[in-house]
């Protein structure tokens, strides 16, 4: 019996966040995945450097990979430094990988990283979302809804 996943992940220090993803995609489900990193990548992330703005995840050969994420070279890394935009392996259970692959193939969904963070045990994690792309009219509706919430909050503050 698998242990139940918490509804929110234990984020102690968020390193990189993909804020654009929530605007461009309908988020269906989120997963927490470990990420296989080298020593200088971990040090670079601990300094708060890194970007997942244009990155995505894909499944190849039964393994999940984070593609196009940028972790800049560590300043004191000398010859042991890493390649900044290399594909990084995501650590998920086989059952989760099979489920994600099925959703991507059948339903036309994408795997979008939402954030990279360190949990309470100091492990680097990726919050991965199973998402469906928004159309232009959906984005306009999101903008309209966001503006209305902002105006409503302002009116409530001024009313008091």
Asked whether residue 60 carries a pLDDT value surpassing 70, the answer given is yes
Q: Which domains does the chain have, with CATH numbers?
A: 13-134 (2.40.280.10)
pTM of the predicted model over 0.85: no
Q: Cα(101)–Cα(24) distance, rounded to whole angstroms?
A: 21
Please state whether 154 falls in left (phi above 0), alpha (psi between -120 and 50) or beta. alpha
Tell me the pLDDT band of 7, cut-offs 50, 70 and 90: low
Reduce the DSSP state of residue 46 to 3 states and report it.
Answer: helix
Q: Which CB contacts under 8 angstroms, 24+ apart, belong to 76-84?
A: 76/43, 77/40, 77/43, 77/44, 80/39, 80/40, 81/40, 82/38, 82/40, 82/41, 82/44
Q: Cα(9)–Cα(115) distance, rounded to whole angstroms?
A: 11
- Give me the mean pLDDT over the 84-108 stretch: 90
Tell me the pLDDT band of 64, cut-offs 50, 70 and 90: very high
Handedness of CA 133, 66, 90, 62 (dihedral sign): positive
The gap between the terminal CA atoms of the chain, to the nearest Å, is: 52
Asked whether residue 49 carries a pLDDT value surpassing 90, the answer given is no
Q: In the chain, pLDDT over 90 holds for what percent of residues?
A: 36
Tell me the pLDDT band of 10, cut-offs 50, 70 and 90: confident
Q: What is the mean pLDDT of the chain?
A: 87
């Amino acid at each position: 019996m698998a242990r139940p996943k918490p509804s929110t992940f234990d984020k102690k220090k968020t390193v990189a966040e993909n804020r654009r993803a929530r605007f461009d995609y309908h988020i269906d489900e989120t997963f927490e995945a470990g990420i296989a990193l080298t020593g200088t990548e971990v040090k670079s992330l601990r300094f708060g450097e890194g970007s997942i703005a244009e990155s995505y995840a894909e499944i190849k050969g039964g393994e999940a990979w984070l593609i196009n994420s940028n972790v800049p070279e560590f300043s004191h890394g000398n010859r042991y430094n890493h390649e900044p935009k290399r594909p990084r392996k995501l650590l998920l259970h086989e059952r989760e990988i099979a489920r994600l692959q099925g959703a991507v193939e059948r339903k036309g969904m994408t795997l979008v990283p939402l954030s990279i963070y360190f949990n309470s045990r100091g492990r680097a994690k990726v919050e991965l979302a199973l998402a469906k792309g928004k159309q232009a009219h959906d984005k306009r509706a999101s903008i309209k809804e966001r503006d209305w919430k902002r105006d409503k909050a302002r009116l409530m503050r001024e009313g008091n």
